[in-house]
Amino acid sequence: MTLLRRLPAYIAIWAWVAFTVAAILWVVMSAFKSKREVLRSGLKPPAELRWENFETAWTIGRLGEFFSNSVVIVCLSVLLILVVSTPAAYVLSRAKFRGRESLTNLFVIGMGIPIPMLFIPIFGILAWLRLSDSLTGLTIVFVAISIPFTVYLLTGFFASLPSELEAASLLDGCSDFQTFRYVMLPMAMPGVATAAILNFIWLWNEYQLSLVILNSPENRTLPLGLYSLQNAMQYTSDWPGLFAGVTIVIIPTILVYAVLSEKMISGMTMGAVK
């Protein structure tokens, strides 16, 4: 009976998985086809691998330049997010001080603010700081926007760790920072890896903030570059080049998730149980 009740859910999940995998395979295979094959062959594999489609997207579409911008911005942003959020989450989850719950609720409120409502304040602040239309300004915005979610996520991971090890390290003479650095942080690495993966995937595909902040073509990130490539390919009908650009965008996120998915799943499991 239990299996029969769950059968519709299983069917829906596997149908969605099959649709997603088929869509990704179609995009990747189309990236290696000719224009005629894209319109006529459907899900059939390409008769010949046309690597020149990727060369067109990488050079003529300038995705190589935009790829470098995205790598620098996203990697630096994720690093700064973890540097700021990890100690904050540890203090909020383990320390006891007046106003801790109010401060934690402040981060939760920050998660609920719609990003479009922040466009005008962010643009005004960056213009005042003379950081508009710059990769530095976009990095600062990425870090600021991502901190509430990351702190909230890591607070659950640190709260799930056993307090006996923390007490033992304090009895051995460790300072609060040493306890965090050498005892608690290594145990929370699955959670930190989870936060890094989720932030990387979101920032790598982020489009709205980049569109508002960046104006110069040389400062575009990969999603903005893909949008400009789409507009260009509509006039040339070079659909294989467009699919090659889409493949360039989605492959890094797939690789990151495939390599670190085990740590992510273990981290989410650890954070779910106190």
Q: What is the pLDDT along the chain (274 residues), one digit of tens a residue?
A: 566 677 777 788 888 888 888 888 888 888 888 888 877 776 778 878 888 888 888 888 888 889 999 999 999 999 999 999 999 998 888 877 787 788 888 888 888 888 888 889 998 999 899 988 899 999 999 999 999 999 998 998 888 887 777 777 777 777 777 888 888 888 888 888 889 989 998 999 899 899 989 888 888 898 988 888 877 777 777 788 888 888 888 888 888 777 766 665 655 555 444 4
Q: Which residues contact 235 (CB under 8 A, 6 or more apart)?
A: none
CA distances from 249 to 179, 232, 244 (A): 40, 17, 9
| Helix, strand or coil, per DSSP, at residue 33 | coil
- Comparing CA positions, the residue from 53, 231, 145, 237 lying closest to residue 137 is 145
Rg (CA), the chain: 23
Record: fold of 61-272:
MetI-like fold (1.10.3720)
> What type of residue is 184?
M
Query: What residue spans of the chain are helical by DSSP H?
Result: 2-30, 35-40, 52-55, 63-94, 100-111, 119-128, 135-159, 163-171, 176-178, 185-187, 189-204, 208-213, 222-236, 239-272
Q: What is the Cα–Cα distance from 33 to 244, expressed in whole angstroms?
A: 10
| Predicted local confidence at residue 273, as pLDDT | 46
Contact 69, 210 (CB under 8 A): no
b/e sequence 231-248, b meaning 16+ C-beta within 10 Å = ebbeeeebbbbbbbbbbb
Contact 205, 225 (CB under 8 A): no
- Comparing CA positions, the residue from 232, 243, 235, 225 lying closest to residue 39 is 243
